[in-house]
Amino acid sequence: MSPFDLQVNGYAGTDFCADDLALSECRSACDALAADGVDGILATVITDAVERLCAKLARLVRHREADPVVARMIRGFHVEGPFISPQPGYVGAHDPRHVRPANVADMERILDAGAGLVRLVTLAPEHDAGFATTRLLADRGVTVSAGHCDASLDVLRGAI
């Protein structure tokens, strides 16, 4: 068995969402994951201003390019937010100041920053007008997960 984790926000004291994540910290987290028997992960970034999300993804891309151990462990990225429900109870630990409706322009910026490595996006389908962002992601081969949402069954069916 080769354990693979779809949502790793950080590990062993390292936060993959840190604005100043150093390569050495990223490598240390990857070494700890491997030592604990994990074969691969999707490094997860959560709701933030789109510019900051893009910077975090670009930094993770650079760390993968700089270190083969990091590249082997971090197989791609999970973007959780900012296109989630702002409602209390659904927003969870995400900063509601940065929650926004899904839109194609911002999603394209995020995908570009992820350099083809965004594999999973969690969004609230009830905040994706016409499911345009969901369609973009599906067309690009990115898995879409309904999360941090209050979507009705009809909305979920429409998104699927």
Q: How many CB atoms neighbour CB 97 within 10 A?
A: 11
- Any idea what DSSP says for residue 83? S
Q: CATH for 4-159?
A: 3.20.20.140
Beta bridge partners of 40: 4
Side-chain half-sphere CA neighbours of 89 within 13 A: 1
Which residue's structure tokens are 């201003």?
49
pTM as predicted: 0.96
Calculate ∠ Cα 154-158-160, nearest 5°: 115
pLDDT digits (tens, 9 = 90+) for 34-88: 999 999 999 999 999 999 999 999 999 999 999 999 999 999 999 999 999 999 9
